[in-house]
Structure 1
């Protein structure tokens, strides 16, 4: 019998531990599909940056409708058929979106119009928007890129690796940018690019066992690759390959995406069960099941790079050719007028180039 002076026994309440998060049904069954849709949106956004200001809204909408199925096809081949580990999208999002947009830009090139509009396109991004975008990137991008790794305690690895990489790429931009450019002053847009570069290079390797030092090195190298590409490679793309990259997506997304794929390939080849422990099932499930060795997984990771580049290049070329149809093209008065219509919003609904007489005589209906 229970002693009358002792307190009553409390019922035993089962507790949930980190080792068994799948024992209860998830309240968001559509969460993986929503994350995949967000990744697809990011790829389309990257592609749009290569042709921004050179296409009308109808062409942009058609490009989006054609890119989404191709993105889904590439993602299905890489992640489901080939068993590639690319949780943050270095390959499926950044590299695919960048080279798809670049090939669309190449197919849409109009020599006389583009040559007259190149000077007009330069420096059109206000610093205030660049600073605001940089803050949003630092706050939201690590959790966005690690959304698919949020299981069994795997998320902190990706978040920390991305933060370390973004910090290193930003620091490298402060050091190298004044050296490469004659004005010697760091632009706000370059800080935004540095944050994007650090996140792009960690897309594939973010959830892998990279260590903080490895993430810092990867972000440092990615920033140097982006700045050197912007200084020396972009003029070659424009003059030799006839590719006009309006927002510099090749240096901010394309090259870091390729570098991130190479980093992920190296880490896949070095993966061991002792180092990853229970995490191996989440990062490299085929290796954990014994279907592949670490070296064969690294080989498949590397083979996914040319496959993605081929799909993006062919799809972008065909899409750009379709967008050249005369019925889809607008006929603005000048390339400057087209840029203003698609990029700038007049204050208070007034034309910024209107004369004083026109402004004084204008009335609101």
Structure 2
């Protein structure tokens, strides 16, 4: 048999192919085994860290947190004894949580009684609860769905938003409560969990800057650290500087945005491969889901800005935010068309810049900006945000490698700084002419000191005014700017430190090939194409149906478009 025998050559080629195929199969099995082992290690770390953190929070609640007493949490109005000049039934204010009624009620003249009156207590919902629920919807639905624009990261956008929020509201209730302890205990009431929701919003804003680039374990570490710094900065601004920030534009939006940007800056050090991936993109349907989040946030934003104030201040905050959002929405559409090729709308602008008016008016929401002023603020915010997305964000990415997945700098950062500046201007021009004696409720630090004749006069007219520091309008404006500057510095420094912590190998780094991909942390059903659905036909070309033997049985599922 000659060496050139065709049959021998064919057998040799076949053997060589089998050998190569066997080697490739062994390598694939080894890679799969290594991925499985890494997934198990990652899952164990996450499980242990999550359970330990939750147990520590339970212990802290057991040691420090208590319900407010009935007198603190729910005001109870007891009707005094009836006299001949009094009525048998007293009207109660709308703010009372209990309505009390004197029994029995007759048409005859009341008789003086020496025994305590009988009181029936009708429980009403606390007035904070409606505002709290609006903010709660914003946290879990608004922020969650706003981040679903990434076509392969929908599970993580909504799911990790829920996970981080659930942890953050617990830790925030404690962290902020440590600065307001009474007799060594943290009193918990509805206003406590409302404040916890607002603190959680700062964490979710930071999450937007690092979305798709962090593992669940990294996000939990970031949330715990950020809440601690947030509570400290908020206490510094509100109780030391005595700045006014009704809508949280300084202490929530500015802090969350620049903390997240600093974290992202550190995580992406080393070149574009740290953040660049073909997965980072939107699809028709993912953008549509993100608009659900936008509309929820847009509708409920007045409650976010008005939740922590009452009376006339709450009235102004709702109206000013309402008009600012409306003007911002219209302007964002107009400017988006103006800067986009072909004069078409850009969905990135519409999803985000339409909300910037709520951020930009936040600090001054409860001040006398007047409706036309709120409209002007909204127009400026919409323009600023669109310009940020279209021009500034690509510039920062190319020059300093600052990668911002959701563009939080354009929606929360710059509009938040704008809100701080507007708040300082309004504080600098505020006077009794505009506010009357309620000026000292609006800016408590401007009230005269105790035991002064000025304070006595004001207290006689408005007994809810507390003694203050007798600040001038210009001094209050200066403290507003100081709070804004300190918040930015603290957020950036703390964010840089947190970024280096999150780079530790023990915290389950996301490999470059799985950036912005749910497969890193979720069981994802296989689909026939990257987006799962065709945007034009609404069909799912090849949905993977797994049989008991593990093999696929591809079917075509018709989905209503």
1:237 equivalent in structure 2: 396
Task: Go from structure 1 to structure 2 and tell me whether the alpha carbon gap of 1:286 and 1:10 turns closer, same or farther (over 3 Å shift).
Answer: closer
Equivalent residue runs for 1:1-365 within 5 Å:
11-17=87-93, 30-109=189-268, 110-114=270-274, 116-117=276-277, 120-123=279-282, 126-149=286-309, 151-289=310-448, 291-330=470-509, 332=511, 334-335=512-513, 337-341=514-518, 350-352=525-527, 359=544, 362-363=547-548
Per-residue CA distance 1:157-214 (angstroms, 9 max, x = gap) = 0011001110111010111101111153224443331342011011101001100000
Contact persistence 1:56–1:342 (CA under 8 A):
no
Task: Compute the displacement of 1:343 (Å).
Answer: 9.3
Question: Structure 1, residues 132-164: CA drift from partner, whole Å, max 9, x if none?
Answer: 113212332211221011x23321100110011
For 1:351 and 1:47, locate their aligned partners in 2 and report how far apart those are by CA, in whole Å. Answer: 31
- What is the total number of aligned residue pairs between the two structures? 350
Residue number in structure 2 paired with 1:5 = none
- The question of whether the paired residues in 1 share the 8 Å contact of 2:329 and 2:354 is answered with yes
Q: Is the 8 A contact 1:196 1:252 kept in 2?
A: yes
Deviation at 1:129, TM superposition (A): 1.6
The corresponding residue for 1:6 is none
How far apart are residue 131 of structure 1 and its match?
A: 2.6
More strand by share: 2
**Over alpha carbons, which structure has the higher Rg?**
2
Unaligned runs of 5+ in 1: 1-8
Q: Normalized against structure 1, the TM-score is what?
A: 0.87
* TM score, norm. by length of structure 2: 0.58
Q: Distance in 2 between matches of 1:276 and 1:106?
A: 44
Q: Secondary structure in 1 aligned to 2:400?
A: coil
Query: Contact 1:137–1:196 (CA<8 Å) still a contact in 2?
Result: yes
Contact 1:154 1:279 in 2 (8 A): no
Is the CA contact 1:88–1:204 (under 8 Å) kept in the aligned structure 2? yes
- Which 4+ runs in 1 deviate beyond 6 A? 20-26, 342-346, 354-358
**Which moves more between the two structures, 124-133 or 230-239?**
124-133
Structure 1 position 36, deviation (Å): 1.4
Could you tell me which runs of 5 or more consecutive residues in structure 2 were left unpaired when the two chains were aligned: 1-84, 100-123, 129-187, 449-468, 531-540, 551-561
